[in-house]
Amino acid sequence: MNEETNHPQFLAKVKGALSALGVLRGRGSLTNESRSAAGQSSDIANAGLRRVTMRYLDVEWESLLNEANHVDLFFAYAKVWRDAHATELRRLVAREGTRLRVILPDRDNQALMTQLAAKFRYSTSQLQRHIDYAECDFADLSRQAASQATVELRRTAEFPVFTYYRFDRRCFGVLYSQAPGWVEVPTFECEQGGTLYGFFSGQFDTLWESCPRPKATPVNSQRMRPKNTTPKFTSTALDASSLVRH
């Protein structure tokens, strides 16, 4: 090191330059963080994601049903949800011009029933009975529907990996849990125009078109849920049905 570079003033200048470089690097890091946050924000906006919640029952289902004109539903049977919102479902189909489309598992497909029953820890006959009651409830809604309202139900042989609720321009995709027993599951609320909305609604539309069309009326108007024959649930099963067994 020569005499000039060993001079205190020179060393002070170098130290200042290094400090400035550190600040610049820090600013660069902040800029990268900002860019990352902006990218994440853009991804969320493109997905049309409004929110994600682990509290499926906290969604404002009542107001959504009261305000919607087009509702699509896809679940295994959703007894707790149906019972909780029976009044809103009746109001929906009582309004002229509304449309309710429902996809349920095909209870006559023995292979599918065996798989689903094992997942939900039911016997096959118990699961078929739950689905049958759901079909009866939608048949009842069909009888109550206004003259210009439609209630359509189709059966699918596909194994469900999520449940789906669509209310006009908003939809909810609720994931199933792979683990057995009671567990909270994520619920994605999406808005039309986003990629997530397109995924969930596209899956429903594909299933709808692939389901065999009913031969007569959309829902058999002669079938009704037998009175006082609602399946008995243990408290554990009741909780699980609201979160996992849709």
Of the pLDDT bands very low, low, confident and very high (cuts 50, 70, 90), residue 58 is: confident
Alpha carbons 84 and 86: distance in angstroms, whole number:
6
β-strand 150-156 against 162-167: which pairing, if any?
A: unpaired
Residue 2 placed within a domain: no
**For residue range 84-100, what is the model confidence (pLDDT) as tens digits?**
999 999 999 999 999 99
Same domain, 170 and 86: yes
Same domain, 39 and 145: no
**For residue range 120-155, what is the model confidence (pLDDT) as tens digits?**
899 999 999 999 999 999 999 999 999 999 999 999
Q: For position 177, what pLDDT does the model report? A: 86
**Does residue 219 sit in helix, strand or coil?**
coil
Query: How many domains does one find in the chain?
Result: 2
Same domain, 12 and 62: no
Q: What is the mean pLDDT of the chain?
A: 80
- The answer to whether the beta carbons of residues 105 and 98 sit under 8 Å apart is no
Is the pLDDT at 175 greater than 70? The verdict is yes
Q: Which is higher by pLDDT, 224 or 141?
A: 141
Q: For position 112, what pLDDT does the model report? A: 97
Of the pLDDT bands very low, low, confident and very high (cuts 50, 70, 90), residue 9 is: low
Q: Could you tell me how far CA 182 lies from the centroid of its own chain?
A: 18
Same domain, 75 and 14: no
Alpha carbons 165 and 176: distance in angstroms, whole number:
14
- The answer to whether the beta carbons of residues 88 and 206 sit under 8 Å apart is no
Q: What pTM did the predictor assign?
A: 0.75
Q: Structure tokens of 159?
A: 């194994």
Q: Which is higher by pLDDT, 99 or 176?
A: 99
Same domain, 12 and 82: no
Residue 3 placed within a domain: no
Which residues 6+ apart lie within 8 Å of 232 measured at CB? none
Q: For position 137, what pLDDT does the model report? A: 97
Give the burial class of 172: count Cβ atoms within 10 A of its Cβ; 0-12 exposed, 13-18 middle, 19 or more buried: buried
- The answer to whether the beta carbons of residues 231 and 133 sit under 8 Å apart is yes
Same domain, 211 and 136: yes
Same domain, 40 and 62: no
Residue 1 placed within a domain: no
Element (H, E) at 92: helix 86-94
Q: For position 243, what pLDDT does the model report? A: 37
Same domain, 80 and 178: yes
β-strand 187-191 against 99-105: which pairing, if any?
A: unpaired
Same domain, 43 and 141: no
Its domain, for residue 35, covers: 8-47
User: Which one-letter amino acid corresponds to residue 30?
Assistant: L
- The answer to whether the beta carbons of residues 102 and 54 sit under 8 Å apart is no
Is the pLDDT at 219 greater than 50? The verdict is no
Percentage of residues in the chain having pLDDT higher than 70: 70
Residue 100 placed within a domain: yes
Same domain, 226 and 184: yes
Same domain, 103 and 209: yes
Query: Taking residues 194-207, what's their average pLDDT?
Result: 97
